[in-house]
Chains A and B, each alone.
Chain A
Amino acid sequence: MGQPLFAIKKTIIKLVEWMLMLMLLAMTGVMFGQIIWRYLLEAPLVWSEELALLLMVWMTFLGSALMLERKEHVAIDVFVDLLPDGLKRLMQILGAIVILIFNCALTYGAFVIAETAWESLMPGLKISGSWQYIGVLLGGGLLTLVSLEALVHALRGTSGNEVAQ
């Protein structure tokens, strides 16, 4: 991968990491607020649960892209490890294609739904219902990029860890 592309990738990763941290803290804060307002102030918030769930959707899909990049998703490698190298590489390419196709479909679907849901309103937050699908769309887009990179590496026979050079 070229230097400028690599710099962009690093910036995106940093950005996603920051977003994930802030979303996690916000989820906690909002839910804690909900408890305080409900039990101590006896004035339940109408939007807190929706916001926390919205953040969880965003966290799931943005975080998944980061985890795919770091190969942290739950997978079973003991069987492919038994295969000879050539076959193993074939499986790696096949796997990369499967993941790429799914991520493209996810992104496409998120776009379609976000567009359809634009007029709808989340009852508590009073914002467009599209917002949760925008999280899927962003995460899906990043997932697609990551899986595209993984496919290129699988085809070239590189591991993807030497990009730093």
Chain B
Amino acid sequence: MSIVLFILLFGLIIINVPIAFAIGFACLTYLWFMDINLALVAQRSAAGIYSYPFLALPMFVFAGVLMEHGGITQRMMRLANAMIGHIAGGLAAVTVCGSALFGALSGSAIGDTAAIGSIMIPAMKAKRYAAGFAAALQGCSGVLASLIPPSLTMVILGATGNISIAGLLIGGLVPGILMAAALITISFIISKRRGYGGGERAGLREFIAALSDSVLPLLLPVIILGGILGGIVTVTEAAVLAVVYAFLLSVVIYREVKISDMMAISMKVVRIAVPVQLIVAISHLFAWIITTEQIPQQLTGFFSAVAPDPLTFLILLNFLLLLLGTFMESNALIIILIPILMPVVVQYGIDPLHFGVMFVVNLCIGANTPPLGVTLMTAAKIADVRFAEASRAVLPFLAAMLLVLVLTILFPQLSTFLPHLFM
């Protein structure tokens, strides 16, 4: 019966049924065949989203959207430019750092790509960077938002897999910084070779001005991380504080958001958060079926036959994930796979934090792998360049990201050292 469930699920997804409804219908069919009360659909779905950790999701999205509308993006870009705008391929480095900084505020990869990309891609094109290069770089930089705290992906992963969300948020920091460094290195090499120039070196005065202009928004990640690490607030409460702070900043201090903009902002939050919330809700039923059918146990049996040690298991799994990641949306992939995989991971004695961070690093690559990488597509649209061209330009960046993935797999300390230090 579980085979039918999976075939139906993937079949429906392939014929363009929204993922949430594909999961729902597959589960419904299962209940029907097993002669289980269909009212379970509603009961499980409501229970699935009635979850305190998930409350952080709409809250972080809300904070991010407020920030985006509050003129924070420009301030981040100015700071990044003052720091590294002058080196060869300076704009490229600014794109990476700006995305990382803004990712620390917005937390969503596509949002980050769109917000920073709409500023940086035209700027790069004006300075004669190839449009394909600009799109590829922005696509890869956008996913830094999934690794640099606060990351929505980590919240979803933690809540789904019952892994410490705070631990995951902090665990993503080092791989995130490594990935930013790898992207900057690659774009530096390419820019040197193709002669993409740097800008003028910003004086100390400009640097200080840019820094003081961004100091209030930059306090936000400090508040969030400080609050969580200090054990003062829960992740959900930190997200709420982020909304209140972002509201004060954009409405009261910078005055770039008016109360009348609230409807547009709320609708943007709904558009980003609700589709994920629905998948979360409906997948609760899916997770219940997975458990009833003892699929993790069967999977453990399968893996222990082919992969005798944890490392072989992780390598096999990463190949599978890279494949799935190219054509599945990251959040949906997390919500479907994590309940199946977590018991297997625990069997192998792998640290859940290590596994979780590795999983997200892998998804970052999938989000930029042709033919279906979603952030790469977003960036290509902004750059107004054919997807095929961006796909060619993305290859060196993918190689760099793969290197970071390999490091994350081989050295668990990269993802577990910080969380274990603080918690």
Give me the interface of A with B, judged by CB distance under 8 Å: 17-18, 20-21, 24-25, 27-28, 31-32, 34-35, 39, 49, 52-54, 56-57, 59-61, 63-64, 66-68, 70, 72-80, 91-92, 94-95, 98-99, 101-103, 105-110, 112-113, 132-133, 135-137, 140
Contacts and interface: CB of A to CB of B under 8 A. Distances in A.
B244 interface: yes
Label chain B's interface by main secondary structure.
helix
B19 A102 contact: no
Contact of A73 (B18, B62, B241, B267): B18
Size category of the binding interface on chain B: 35 or more
A72 B271 contact: yes
Contacts of A27: 55, 58-59
B312 interface: no
B42 A106 contact: yes
B253 interface: no
B20 A64 contact: yes
A24 B266 contact: yes
Nearest to B247: A28
Contact of A112 (B42, B50, B59, B62): B42
A35 B233 contact: yes
A79 B14 contact: yes
B277 A133 contact: no
26 contacts: A20-B270, A24-B62, A25-B266, A28-B59, A31-B237, A32-B240, A49-B52, A53-B52, A57-B49, A57-B281, A59-B274, A60-B277, A64-B20, A64-B274, A67-B270, A75-B16, A78-B372, A91-B15, A91-B16, A98-B25, A102-B28, A106-B45, A109-B42, A113-B42, A136-B45, A137-B42
Nearest to B269: A24
A102 B332 CA distance: 18
B375 to A, nearest CB: 14
B206 interface: no
Nearest to B327: A76
Contacts of B269: 24
A99 B240 CA distance: 34
Contact of B274 (A63, A105, A106): A63
A26 to B, nearest CB: 11
B329 to A, nearest CB: 5
A112 to B, nearest CB: 4
A99 B17 contact: yes
B40 interface: yes
Contacts of B12: 95, 98
Nearest to A60: B277
B84 to A, nearest CB: 35
Contact of B58 (A54, A59, A72, A137): A59
A159 B191 CA distance: 45
B286 interface: no
Interface in B8-38: 12-22, 24-25, 28, 38
A108 B25 contact: no
A74 B236 CA distance: 25
B28 A101 contact: yes
Contacts of A78: 327, 371-372
B258 to A, nearest CB: 14
Nearest to B20: A73
A40 to B, nearest CB: 12
Nearest to B31: A105
A80 B18 CA distance: 13
B55 A52 contact: yes
